[in-house]
Each structure stands twice: as structure tokens, then as C-alpha cells.
Amino acid sequence: MSLKILVCGDVNGKLDALYGRVRRLQSKGNNFSLLLCVGEFFGAKEEDQILWKEYLEGRKKSPISTFILGPNIKTTESYFIDSADDGAELCENVTHLGKKGIYTGTSGLKIAYVSGTQSTGTSTKTSFSDDDIRGLASQLGVGGSGYQGVDILMTSSWPNGVSTFGNSPSSEKCKSCGSAAIAELAKSSKPRYHFAGLEGVNYERVPYRNHIVLAEPSRHVTRFIALSSVGNPNKEKYLYAFSISPMSSMTQQELNTQPPEATESPYTSGNKTKNIPVLLSGQVADQYRWNMETTRAPKRKSQNNPNQPERKHARPQDWSCWFCLGGDKVEKHLVASVGELCYIAMAKGGLTSDHALILPIAHHSSSNELPDDTRVEVLKYMEALRAAYRSGGRECVFFERNYRTDHMQIQVVPLPPGVTSSQVKESFVNLGTSNTDRHGNPNPIEFVELPQRTDLKQIIGRGIPFFHVELPDGTRLIHKIQRYFPLQFGREALCSASLLNSPKRIDWRSCALSCDQETDLTKKFRDFFKKFDFSLEDED
């Protein structure tokens, strides 16, 4: 049985405006089962109290069964004197759910709810405590072997960090607003829909998964939706309509259908890379900017700026590493661009003249172990390189081999115009299927296609060898390396007849260039990439 439900953000006492809108929807044949209200329902002004009295006395009536949360500010506490904790019907068709709890309708639809904002100590009429959250989690039975989730979670407060891995809210403040306790509740209770208010912003996050891909059984996704306030000046959405069948009436296949845009959970805690206090990566970067061709670009924003605050976090450097930018072994003539935390170098014995590498300035062994800020800059370089190659009508492939290498390298190889992602995928899969070990015995390399927006850390644990490739259309293939893996596998797949058609270039040593030739190649790449290189931004 499917139910049609309305959800509203902060009403702030504007009952006539809300119910007028609901009546107009009903007049068009929309039969909604109930209206859920998150955020502040009542208004603090005298005129709001006068209007509410008309509903209390029956002179006005709600056209729909309305379920509301409790107060968030002291000035609206008086509306809830007799129902502060347990909830009650306040007037015909308007019910206060209470402080926290579970509401289960006759259809089997299960709604969990928490009123108020997070308290730093004990619970009050307008706030909840950590004990309240633990109590609700216990009431739901989270963590039990048979626990699946809840249909709807209603909270006034946003969960902190909800936009992580997803689309960003329109308001900058909402990227860091909200309650850590609500985030923990959302993570453990696994609602299918989570609604919140209070921030005056409409934000519909892309769905996120409640399981770890390839490591846990598939579960349903969560849709987080924050709604603005009734009558807001920006005309942001404050009313949300949707249909839902109770999870108790659905098959596992129906319940666990994964939309293609689903991301990993924003509440998943990633591995933290320990930073060794040896040398600031920014200091290394600044040093090498002077060693590169100084006339090639305008001054960077942070370069030679006495007002630039000193970076506080040290980054690990391995002076014996060939790729740590502060090490003695770095071949500086191959460095084409230097950012704050990453750099681009030309590949030795490249498959093409503009075959590039993206590397962290500090010593990190794989993309799976990068700090968040470094990961962001890697993605920024990937986008810049895509744009550069596309300006000439070409697409590119990214691949990384975390096997028998100490320093992360993402290989970036442009393809001839007209080569499709399906051709690239076919080449990698076919080569993997026919792979043999060093003794000629069958040793197939099997790939798994990653769902969109999946963080690699969800799939591959820290320290586990892997091979990862991203195709031009964004499709990503992953292989967990468990035994011998051919070091030139990525190059060989790209050298196939349908792609680069360069079988003699599989081994980089067979197409190595002299130092002078490499220097010339690097200069040409800098000129080609200059227009897309964000590290060369002019000083404001």
C-alpha cells in the first residue's frame, strides 16, 4: 500500500498560508494521508498566538492530519505546556508527537522523531541530550540482528556533515551546520527518508547508501531533505510531496534498489593518514616553483605573500623516494605543474608525448591513503587535464597501480579522437581475462565496476594492493591484487590495436628519451596545459 505524504519546513505560525496551500493541492485531486512538520511550527508574535487560538476554538480547522515536532526556542514553549515530552493532540487534526519516539501508523509506516536542538548538557524543553538519542536508538532496536531501518526520520536539526560526498547546499553555513548526535542517529537508524528544518534552506541531497559496496549486503538508500520556511522571501521550497510504501510491506529487492546517483554514506569515517612532522609540503612546492621556468606564468596568489598564514600541518617526505618533491632523486626537468599538495610530471617513456602523472608532493603510497585536502587537489588536477585534452578533441584514461610502488602515481593517458569508453573497457577486460602468470598458467585479472560516487576507501582497505582505472565516461573498474600482477598491465591495455595501436611502447624503457628530449617535452606540455593550470592563477 502506497501512501501520499506532505512534509513541511518551519511554519513559524503561518498556519493560514500553509493550510491554504494544502487546500489548493487537495482541490486538484491530491489525496494526502498526512502532513509532517519539522522545525519550528509556532510563531512567537502576538498575532501568531491569536491565530492559533482560532484553531484551538474550532473557528478554523486543519484540512489534513498534521504531526509536528516540539519547540526549538523558549518563546514557543507555552504552546506545548501539557504535551512537552509525551506529545498529545493540540487541536483537531494537529498532533504534537513529543520529545522523541516512534510513531507507527495503521499502514505499518514507521516514523522516528526527535524534537529540539542539541544540548551541551542535560535535556530541556527545547533541546535533546545524548541520552535522548541513545534512548531512541535503543527503542528502535538499532544494532540488533533483525534491524533493517525506519521509513522516516523527522528532526528539526540537520545532521552535521550530511553534504559530505554529495551535492552542496546553497548556503555556505549549511556545510558545517547541524548536530553530531543527529548525524549518529541517522547513521545507526538508517531511515529511508530524513527530513529537517531550522536553517531556512531547501536542500535535497543525492541519496546515500547504508552499506559498504562489495563488503556488506545491499541495503536501502537514505534521502535527506531539508525544507525552507513557509513564506520565505527567497521563495525556496518549503513543502515536499512524495509517495512511500512501508518497508514492512516491501520485498528486499524492491527496498534495496540502488539509484545510479547514490553515494557512500556521509557519516562513514575514513582512515586518517598520520602526518609525520618532517617538512611542510607547501615549503617544498614553493622551492620547486622557483626551479621551474620562472617566466612561464604570473605569480601565484600565495607566493611571496607576507600575510599568508604559515601552514600548520606537516607532511611526510621520504628523501630516498624518486617521487617525493623534496627528495634528492626527483627529476626536476619532468615537473610540469606544482600545486599546493600535488604536482604533475611527465611520464618517463610515455605512451604519448603528453602522457602525464599526478602525484602527491608528500609521501603517500596510494590514493586510498591520501588526506582529504590532498584528495581534493588530485581531483582538481584530473578535471583540469580532462579539460585540456578535450580542448583538442581527445578524451583520457586515468589508472593507478598500487602494487610494488611506494609513492602514489595516477597515470593520465590521452586517447586518439573517436576512441570510446566501451573500447577502453573492452581492452582492459579482455587483457585481464587472457592474463597468465610468470609460468604461463591462466591467471585472469577480474574487474568490478564501481557504483557512481563510491569512495575507493569503501572498497579497498588501507595497504591492500589494487589496480584502478577510470574511463572517459567516468566508469571506474577496480581489481584487488592478490597474487602476481604484471607491472605493465595498464600500458599494455592502452597499447592495443583498438586504442593507441602501439605494441612496441608497452615497456617504458623501450621508448625512453634523453634528458634534453624530456626537457623539451615538458616545456611543450607546460605551454599546452597553461590555460587550464589552476596553479598559475594571477594574484588578485
Backbone φ/ψ region at 365: left (φ over 0), alpha (ψ -120 to 50), beta: alpha
User: pLDDT per residue over 48-63, tens digit each?
Assistant: 999 999 999 999 999 9
Residue 443 half-sphere exposure, CB side, CA atoms within 13 Å? 14
pLDDT for 282 beyond 70: no
Cell 626537468 sits on residue: 333
* pLDDT, position 406: 83
pLDDT for 315 beyond 80: no
Average confidence (pLDDT) over 308-312: 39
* pLDDT, position 460: 83
Cα 534–chain centre separation: 23
pLDDT band at 316 (very low <50, low <70, confident <90, very high): low
Average confidence (pLDDT) over 116-134: 91
pLDDT for 295 beyond 70: no
CA distance readout (Å), 310 to 95, 281, 361, 372, 391? 55, 12, 17, 19, 37
Could you tell me the sign of the dihedral formed by the alpha carbons of 481, 486, 487, 490, in that order?
negative
Residue-wise burial string across 399-421, b where 16 or more C-beta atoms lie within 10 A, e elsewhere: bbbbbeeebbbbbbbbbeeebeb
Q: How far apart are CA 200 and CA 237, in angstroms?
A: 10
Q: How far apart are CA 312 and CA 277, in angstroms?
A: 10
Q: Is 502 exposed, middle or buried (0-12, 13-18, 19+ CB in 10 A)?
A: middle
Show the cell assigned to 482.
Answer: 592478490
* pLDDT, position 289: 47
DSSP, collapsed to helix, strand or coil, labels residue 209 as strand
* pLDDT, position 521: 96
* pLDDT, position 308: 41
pLDDT for 370 beyond 60: yes
User: pLDDT per residue over 482-539, tens digit each?
Assistant: 878 999 999 999 999 999 999 999 999 999 999 999 999 999 999 999 999 999 874 3
Taking residue 164's Cβ as centre, other Cβ atoms within 10 Å add up to 19
Please, where in the chain does CATH 3.30.428.10 lie?
281-536
pLDDT for 309 beyond 50: no
Question: Which residues are CB-contacts of 309 (< 8 A; sequence separation ≥ 6)?
Answer: none
Give the chain's count of helices (H) and strands (E): 11, 23
> What average pLDDT does the chain have?
87
Taking residue 443's Cβ as centre, other Cβ atoms within 10 Å add up to 16
Average confidence (pLDDT) over 107-128: 91
CA dihedral 135, 137, 138, 144 (to 10 degrees): -170
DSSP labels, 114-155: E-SEE-SSS-BTTEE-HHHHHHHHHHHTTTSTT---EEEEEE
Q: How far apart are CA 159 and CA 268, in angstroms?
A: 13
DSSP, collapsed to helix, strand or coil, labels residue 108 as coil
Q: Which residue has the higher pLDDT, 6 or 306?
A: 6
DSSP, collapsed to helix, strand or coil, labels residue 283 as helix
Q: Are 38 and 9 in contact (CB under 8 A)?
A: yes
Average confidence (pLDDT) over 229-256: 95
* pLDDT, position 144: 82
* pLDDT, position 327: 67
pLDDT band at 318 (very low <50, low <70, confident <90, very high): low
What CATH number should be reported for the domain whose range is 3-255?
Answer: 3.60.21.10
Q: How far apart are CA 469 and CA 492, in angstroms?
A: 13
Beta-sheet pairing, 191-196 with 127-128:
unpaired
CA distance readout (Å), 486 to 7, 254, 368, 402, 478? 55, 41, 21, 12, 15
CA distance readout (Å), 521 to 322, 372, 459? 20, 32, 37
Fold classification of 281-536 (topology level): HIT family, subunit A (3.30.428)
The residues with which 401 forms a beta bridge, in sequence order, are 467
The residues with which 203 forms a beta bridge, in sequence order, are 226
Please, where in the chain does CATH 3.60.21.10 lie?
3-255
* pLDDT, position 405: 86
Average confidence (pLDDT) over 154-171: 94
User: pLDDT per residue over 60-83, tens digit each?
Assistant: 999 999 999 999 999 999 998 765
User: pLDDT per residue over 409-432, tens digit each?
Assistant: 999 999 999 999 999 999 999 999
Q: Which residue has the higher pLDDT, 358 or 212?
A: 358
User: pLDDT per residue over 432-472, tens digit each?
Assistant: 999 988 778 898 999 999 887 778 877 787 778 999 999 99
Q: How far apart are CA 161 and CA 263, in angstroms?
A: 14
